[in-house]
Structure 1
Amino acid sequence: MAVLTDDGIVLIDALTSAADAENVLLPGLRDLGADPEKIRYIVVTHGHDDHFGGARYLADRYGARVLMSATDWDLVAGTQPADAPARDLEIADGQRLTLGGTAIQLHHTPGHTPGTVSPIIPVRRGSARHTAMLWGGTNPPTTPTAPRTYLKSIHSFLAQMRRTNADVELSTAPTTMASSVPSSSAAGPTVRPLRARTHADAAVYDGDGLHAAWTPRQPEPGVSVQSLY
């Protein structure tokens, strides 16, 4: 996913490898009319190689800064995968990453990994303004104690969704999104689940099956959030 601002691009995750970044992500940006030279930040939602795999390539080529929680930087360092990016910026819980007047909130939601991060992004579609949430780690863990952590993260992130009136749901794993991402209760804001095609051919769809091209709230005009794969 790309957040396009007047001061550059924030990528949310970077696919599985340098080859994917070069052959899928970069052409996707160009198809949107975005210049990959303007990639400024890569936010890695969690330390699995299908999310950070292209980050080192993009950082080396474009000078982008890579962000991940300290816990998942440690996770990556412990497994030492071939495509791991060099350790760079650490995400604090509740941190705001601001570029071009667009502030992305980054919340720790451990469970899928010990340091999963879930963003909240101000968006708009045409003149309608919204707030999007991206659940950073979809599949629940299988170790005995980690599911409790996962559930606690769901509750804490739901509180952030209610606080920000989030009304757009996104997921890092669109094929399982409908069954796994948190949704607001009747007491909170109504959040309509979005649908997507397969992970290899994903585009964001609204509840009526219409393509949704969401654009961040600040600044106006010309900032957008797009799914690239």
Structure 2
Amino acid sequence: MTTTRLPLFPLNTVLFPGLVLPLNVFEPRYRALMADLLELPEDGPRPFGVVAIRDGHEVAPSAVGLPETGKPPELAAGSGFARDDPRRSFHEVGCVADASTIRERPDEEGYEVLATGTTRFRLVSVTAEGPYLTAEVEPLEEVAGEGAGALASGVLRAFRSYQKVLAGANERSLAPGQDLPDDPSVVSYLVAAATMLYTPDKQRLLQAKDTATRLAEELRILRQETAVIGKLPSVPGAEFTVRPTSLN
């Protein structure tokens, strides 16, 4: 088994390969992480691992702005997570993020970061010995699976229908006229990110054994959600029935 060590950034959301992740980083331990990434060559990758929190919490917000009063507290790397083994606080599968942009805030109290998901990984171990968490991770290969191409076409049709019933509900989704990709794995991740789902449901899609399995589950979910929302007396009420997404 080939593994690599990455800085770890736990979030209350799921990052998928190919998706953009904006972060407003001001907690000291994650500021230290970004400062170390800035030491890497600007024209090369600046990778860190994003993993969804299973049992624990982000002690301070990470993407919605600074705290209302005072500076964020100094926290140990593993604060808010299982003390004996931080790995138990996280879902097993995460996504490598490449920080293409890291800008220090004018107040010098944090960083504005723009990262993109690249590849999936499986957590092997998590260490809390430094200023921030680090993880030994095993890269996960994306396997197409049987019938991925046909399933992708069906998912795209179902996703269009899903978008139509959400139109006017002010929910975050792809613009109706936006071109969608043909590659089944890209389709599977894009739809997983754009559909209103709870974090455990998104996590289940991220860790699907292959693209076909992910697409088949998405097809089931989209048809179910479209049918439910379509029966509502008025579409603007959909925000009370569709599943929420993380602010991260």
Q: Which has the higher contact order (CA 8 A, sep 6+)?
A: 2
- TM-score interval, normalised by the smaller of the two chains: under 0.3
| TM-score scaled by length of structure 1 | 0.24
Larger-gyration structure (1/2): 2
> Which structure features the higher share of strand residues?
1
